[in-house]
Structure 1
Amino acid sequence: MSKDKQRLYISNCPRDAMQGIKSFIKTPQKIDYLQSLLGVNFELLDCGSFVSPRIIPQMADTAQVLAALDKSKSSTKISVIIANRRGAELALQQKNVDFLGFPFSISETFQQKNTNATRLEGLERIEIIQDMMRGSGKNLLVYLSMAFGNRYGEDWSLDLLLNFVEKIVERGVYRFNVSDTVGVATPHQIQQVFLSLKKNFPKVHFGAHLHTIYNQWHEKIDAAYQGGCTHFDGAIHGFGGCPMADSPLMGNMPTEKLINYAQLHQLNHELNLAAFEGAFNNALTLFRGQSFAKWR
């Protein structure tokens, strides 16, 4: 891919960083942190979720947080995670929400663990949610979990991935984030997956949601970029990640590394770096003492 005047679109996932923290972060702290992130000019901000508070108690105040955010001076779009009809109903009531994120796993086991539904039921839920969203001005974003393999010994293949993407596209979804949920993907595999997705679905938007250890961030970003991906998720300082990853060193792709990649390869990112520095420092304060990947 020619990198002349190319843009790297960077999104940030504070929900992913916050949701695993056991001690409840006070609602005003969340609001202040997310408001600082809105000033950075990220493409998308994954702010919260409408799932059972018994499952993710940290996100129980998502509605209050969203209602307090001021988007008037930000171009950033806001997304929340939902996993069923009830979550979609709650998300659709929020004027600040632009995207509803639905997790769909290529692994049957993980789909059931994550959403209490089979993959077939997941496809049915996507249809229902799409119907609910008509005329709302909001869009569905599907997170393809375990998109590069899994830790359950279940078969994975590129054809399997493409088959499920086709089924979801047939249901009217045109935006996906392709997730290496447990950090199993090799750079070669990452590149081949994105090349194949772009070849088979040229009108569909695919972003990368990668997990990494400290010394693999560049090769993973570069593999996705060389595969034609220009949209990436990150989390400040790599906070968060999947607890099922084998390595305690595995975490989210650090947002600052995505910025570094753009700078190294002379790509436009259009982020407000002064605002990012402030948000970065806020994150270090907010998450101080929390247990994340050990290399951070």
Structure 2
Amino acid sequence: MVKITECPRDAMQGIKDFIPTDIKATYINLLLRVGFSRIDFGSFVSHKAMPQMSDTADLVGKLDLSNTNSSLLAIIANLRGAKDAVDFDEISVLGFPFSVSETFQLKNTNSTITESLLRVEEISELCHQKSKIPLVYLSMGFGNPYGDEWDVEVILNYTNQLVSLGIKEFVLADTVGIASVEKINDLYPHLKTEFPQCNWGIHLHSTPDTAYEKAKAAIAVGCDQIDSALRGFGGCPMASDDLTGNLATETLLTALEATKTSHDVIDMNAWKEALNYSNKVFAN
């Protein structure tokens, strides 16, 4: 059973022109009706670093959770952001981007890996106190363009440290689109064997021509949760100027159907409404 995390936050965050909060809310409310397991809807991070997400606190109050099975996931980068996020009953999951590349961790969260481990420890403790789920993205999980050390042992080492801090939800993130079918096939069996108590997801940034095969590989190795974004919008604005997009949700659904893999039940009428409305959200 593959659960899907739809990622409007990741799709919107790099857009320079501010998307009005009411438009964001309408779009996310449509996505909440589709049937995704989770909606990665916003982030509590520096407004200067990510101005598009500066209205996340206001956005929460405009979301209708009365008729959805989807849970809300918010991104945080430090304890301050986590404290802001846990005050909202509507938010179930807090996601922290932990890079296995020192260079990118400094670029993305202005902290070293050692400092980030301390942040994760604090955030994990807070989440458990407030009955939230702490999730860690292993950013640059398939390698990095900076020459920082990367291999299976690096991933296993940091995962072991994070598990000791109370983390059981992980998403291996292909931040700059350099994952391959071979890397997916190599990494996940190690992770699922070494840490069977954990939930293992994947967040792929990809060009359209390679996305389908990568999605099929993620399904084949038994990813528990797969992130995607409608039409493949978005990417990571902190990584590069010439980004590939997110794995398109429609590509993921095609791969799930082709492999006869059970997944979240999708309301196709709600899906079409969200698809049509996305033209207004991403008009720029």
Give 2:73's match in structure 1, choosing from 72, 75, 79: 79
Please list the CA deviations of residues 15-63 of structure 1 after superposition, one character each: whole Å capped at 9, or x if unmatched. 0011111111111111111100000111110010001111111111101
Please list the CA deviations of residues 177-205 of structure 1 after superposition, one character each: whole Å capped at 9, or x if unmatched. 11011011111111111111101101100
For 1:112, the equivalent position in structure 2 comes to 106
Please list the CA deviations of residues 214-253 of structure 1 after superposition, one character each: whole Å capped at 9, or x if unmatched. 1111210122222221320001111001346679472100
Give 1:279's match in structure 2, choosing from 274, 277, 283: 274
Structure 1 residue runs without a partner (length 5+): 1-6, 290-296
CA distance 1:93–1:259, shift in 2 (3 Å): same
1:192–1:227 contact (8 Å) kept in structure 2 = no
For 1:45, the equivalent position in structure 2 comes to 39
Shift of 1:137: 1.7
1:20–1:240 contact (8 Å) kept in structure 2 = yes
For 1:136, the equivalent position in structure 2 comes to 130
Structure 2 residue runs without a partner (length 5+): none
For 1:4, the equivalent position in structure 2 comes to none
Shift of 1:8: 2.6
Matched residue type, 2:270: A
Q: Alignment length, in residue pairs?
A: 283
% identity of equivalent residues = 43
Cα root mean square deviation, aligned: 1.4
Does 2:89 correspond to 1:95? yes
Please list the CA deviations of residues 92-129 of structure 1 after superposition, one character each: whole Å capped at 9, or x if unmatched. 11111000110100100000110010001110001111
> Which residues of 2 match residues 102-181 of structure 1 at below 5 A?
102-181=96-175
Matched residue type, 1:59: M
2:176–2:243 contact (8 Å) kept in structure 1 = no
TM-score of the superposed pair, with normalisation by structure 1: 0.92
Q: Which moved more, 1:89-98 or 1:218-227?
A: 218-227
Distance 1:181 1:32 in 2: 28
* SS of equivalent residue, structure 1 residue 99: strand
Please list the CA deviations of residues 122-177 of structure 1 after superposition, one character each: whole Å capped at 9, or x if unmatched. 10001111222233121101011000100101121100011000000000000011
